[in-house]
Homo-oligomer: A and B are copies of this chain.
Amino acid sequence: MKEGPDIARIGTLIGDPARANMLTALMSGQALTATELAQAAGVTLQTASSHLSKLQDGGLVSQRKQSRHRYFALADPATGALLEAIMGFAASRGHLRHQPGPKDPALRKARVCYDHLAGDYGVRMLDSLLDRQAIRPEGDGLVLTPEGERLLGEMGLHLALLRTSRRPMCKSCLDWSERRSHLAGTVGKALLSHFLTSGWARRSEDSRAVVFSPEGERQFGALFPAFRVSPAV
């Protein structure tokens, strides 16, 4: 018989709509309870529980008990990266759950993608960083330039701390709404985190949307000017 990785198992786990909804909800990077995930998936708690134990057996999600609650989260960054890859691929083939039109504009403008910023603002940020040579494409990936290090330092990010992670610093991630790339990796995570902690933006309660305050809009606009009216393909 054949030998090799069991891709069918992973496919089956992701292939059920309820499980896919749960995983998508967990792409926000937050840990969610079984009840919350049941709501997100549109199934009862019993069904959700069954799905979650399958996802856990499959190594896609991890569980943390905390008093009466059980918090579930994506198992690790690799899981998030895999889901991002599949999302990008699905979008590239036109497999959208509904129409790709201008629906849910908040999500299209700015949203959380596992742990970094996606949507129009995410794309614009990466474009701007590339334009001012803070980041440079190199081989298949992206690298931070000295100018980029200076810029991030100015914003108060601790580069040395970021480098301790085993994840790549910069990584491009295909955006399903924009059909273009935005910035993932440790730096992408740190930037989003910076926006949130400095009060420039906050996360929407009930979706993956990221809502900028007026002040945040101003600051973001100054840091990452829309240097080109980017046509969304």
Given A2-B21, A85-B82; A10-B95 close (CB under 8 Å): yes
B9, A95: Cβ atoms closer than 8 Å: yes
Contacts of A13 in B (CB 8 A): 11, 15
What is the count of identical protomers in the complex? Answer: 2
A82, B86: Cβ atoms closer than 8 Å: yes
Given A9-B90, A86-B82; A4-B140 close (CB under 8 Å): no
Report the separation of the CA atoms of residues A11 and B55 in the bound assembly, to the nearest whole angstrom: 13
A10, B86: Cβ atoms closer than 8 Å: yes
Report the separation of the CA atoms of residues A72 and B66 in the bound assembly, to the nearest whole angstrom: 51
- The verdict on A142 contacting chain B, using a C-beta distance below 8 Å, is yes
Question: Which one of B16, B20, B58, B140 lies within 8 Å of A171 (CB-CB)?
Answer: B140
Given A82-B86, A86-B10, A140-B168; A95-B58 close (CB under 8 Å): yes
A residues neighboring B (CB under 8 Å): 1-17, 19-21, 23-24, 58-60, 78-79, 82-83, 85-98, 103-104, 107, 138-144, 168-171, 176, 185
